Amino acid sequence: MSLTRRRFLVMSGGIAALAALPLAIAEPEHEVEIAMLGTARGERVWFAPLGVAVAPSTRVCFVNRDPGNSHTATSYHPANFERTQRIPDAAVPFHSGFLLPGDTFEVVLDAPGVYDYYCLPHERAGMVGRIVVGTPETPGWQGAVVETVHAAATALAALPSVEQILAHGQVMPEEAA
Amino acid sequence: MNSIKTLTIGLGVAGLLGGISSQAMAHDEEALRQAPPASPYVKVSDALPLPEFIPGLGTLFVDPDTLPAGPFLAYDREGQLSATVYMTPLAALEEGAAFNDMAVGLHPVDSVDIYYNAGHPGVDEPHAHVVLFHDSEAKARLTP
């Protein structure tokens, strides 16, 4: 059976244990969508926005809007395929699994700081993204990781800076250069 | 039932073969002409998290032993074999790999498209798609 739409909810930032009782959790104040996109023949794939700033406890919804490909939203963390950690220490790593066209994956990000993530089958093609939760003034803030050796080092180095994301709210791929 | 492995591209070679060989190859082509092809072929979307019908490529079947290059047999929505597709990783080519003597689903080839693909489940690295369309309407049928 092939589901046309799957929904996932992952709670992070130390409240993962409450995930079994989603109806009891208060709705986050904000919700943002990050689309997974690609050209018709798959020459290019990307997240849009590439970088986005959100308040703590915002619900982030990843949506595969690429009709011809599968994608994942996978945080950089040793628990996810032994990648180097690029999310706050207090955050729970997330991995959507493969999302077919139209599928969605939701995650609520509570721990303030920088979350870098990637698409598992497209990491080597540079499909990475960044979410900034809170600001450097938020208690518990943990900033971006600087890393030079990585399969997607070039794409990670090209991610918009925290300052750029906070200044604009979101940065689309064509604005990142 | 013979698989696609028994078929050869046959460009220039088919004409050198005798009548018996030609009949055998024609029989094999008929076996693949309509989906689903027999084992060892598997539907790609049954084995990998990919859409059943991929725009531009249709419904793909492949012998897993031939991955990553293929050939992938590409069928339209009516189950007609419309294209044969090869997927060749760029890194492997740069390192000197060659993909030789690969089979083809049908011998008639109307046109060929070659283009870059960033990757997808099954071939999760940048690679080239080489698409042999088997008739003049095949591309349109695979891109509804």
Residue with tokens 């991955």: B67
Cβ atoms within 10 Å, residue B131: 23
Tokens coding B62: 């492949």
A99 vs B21, which has greater pLDDT? A99
What's the CATH number where B42 sits? 3.30.200.270
Q: What value does the mean pLDDT take over residues A18-32?
A: 52
Question: Number of structural domains, chain B?
Answer: 1
Of A6-10, A101-105, A138-142, which gets the smallest average pLDDT? A6-10
| pLDDT band for position B117 (cuts 50, 70, 90) | very high
pLDDT of residue A78: 93
Sequential DSSP letters for A142-167: --PPP---STTHHHHHTSPPHHHHHH
| pLDDT band for position A15 (cuts 50, 70, 90) | very low
Q: What is the ipTM of this complex?
A: 0.72
Amino acid at A166: L
CA A12 to chain CA centroid, Å, is: 12
pLDDT of residue A17: 37
Pairing of strands A104-109, A58-64: antiparallel
Residue with tokens 């598997």: B42
Q: Is B105 left (phi over 0), alpha (psi -120 to 50) or beta?
A: alpha
Which residues of chain B are within 8 Å of residue A100 when distances are taken between CB atoms?
A: 49-51
Residue of A nearest to B50 (CA): A70
Of A23-37, A152-166, B37-51, B64-78, which gets the smallest average pLDDT? A23-37
| pLDDT band for position B30 (cuts 50, 70, 90) | confident
Q: How far is A44 from chain B (nearest CA, A)?
A: 6
pLDDT at B17 over 50: no
Pairing of strands A104-109, A9-11: parallel
The overall average pLDDT reported for chain A is 83
A7 vs B103, which has greater pLDDT? B103
What number of residues does chain B have? 144
**E-strand spans in B38-134?**
42-43, 59-62, 72-75, 81-89, 111-117, 127-133
**Of B51, B115, B126, which has the smallest distance from its Cβ to A125's Cβ?**
B126
pLDDT at A175 over 90: no
Taking alpha carbons only, the member of B137, B127, B120 closest to residue B60 is: B120
Q: What value does the mean pLDDT take over residues A39-66?
A: 95
B73 vs A153, which has greater pLDDT? B73
Interchain pair B118, A100: CB under 8 A: no
Q: How far is A39 from chain B (nearest CA, A)?
A: 9
pLDDT of residue A94: 97
pLDDT of residue A43: 93
Q: What residue numbers bound the domain in which A103 lies?
A: 9-16+27-175
Q: What value does the mean pLDDT take over residues B87-93?
A: 95
Q: What residue numbers bound the domain in which B84 lies?
A: 4-142
Cα–Cα distance for residue pair B55/A74, rounded to 1 Å: 25
What's the CATH number where A55 sits? 2.60.40.420
Q: How far is B90 from chain A (nearest CA, A)?
A: 12
Question: Number of structural domains, chain A?
Answer: 1
**Of A2, A97, A124, which has the smallest distance from its Cβ to B126's Cβ?**
A124
Within-domain flag for A138:
yes
Interchain pair A127, B120: CB under 8 A: no
pLDDT at A125 over 70: yes
pLDDT of residue B85: 98
Which residues of chain A are within 8 Å of residue B52 when distances are taken between CB atoms?
A: 2
Whole-prediction pTM: 0.79
Within-domain flag for A21:
no
Interfacial A residues in 137-176 facing B (CB < 8 Å): none
Within-domain flag for A65:
yes
Of A19-28, A67-76, B70-79, B132-141, which gets the smallest average pLDDT? A19-28
Of A156-160, B4-8, B84-88, B99-103, which gets the smallest average pLDDT? B4-8
